[in-house]
Amino acid sequence: LLITVGASLLGFYGWPLAERMLEKPASSEEITSDNMGQSAVRYGLESIALGALAVVGAQQGIIRGLHPLVSSAMGVTIALGGVMRDLMCGRDLALGASTGCQSYGIASFSGAVVYVALRELHVWNCAGSTSKLLNGGIPIGLRILLGFGTVFGIRAAAWQNKPDGLLLTMDESAESNKKSVDRLVSLLTAKSPPAS
């Protein structure tokens, strides 16, 4: 308990100090839209934490005997602590912004699903044999690594697609849907050739 409280206090009070140390001096030549600067470090650290939280959240659902889908969802809900932190610290929420935060929920859910699916496959494969369950099947380290790797891969893809984003914005989705409906209406209202 003391280690947990100590780590929480260190993270809460140490993060602003670490942020100031990682900032580059603001000069017009150094920071451009193509130069991601220190935000790449922050994004990478955030992705590592998100991967760990997705796997830990899914594992907590499994330990409590919850359904695999609920366990996967816990991999997302446990990651909402970052949103709560931003609210409590008075920081701007950047969900869906060009910082790649769109991928937050998708990445954590995907990583949790991979971890839970591999765990279910492991249990199914080793059913009826306690020794196989403990010593055989899919090693836990591999399950953790693949769940974490899924989160990190999706976050990396979101970073690569920046500023376009991993998903369409609401306005882009509405425009795309309108074009699809217009095409469908034009196809349905087009006159068919007369039968001979």
List pLDDT tens digits, range 103-122.
678 888 999 999 999 998 88
pLDDT tier, 193 (very low <50, low <70, confident <90, very high otherwise): low
pTM above 0.75, yes or no: no
Return the pLDDT at 58: 93
Return the pLDDT at 71: 92
Residues ≥6 apart with Cβ < 8 Å to 49? 82
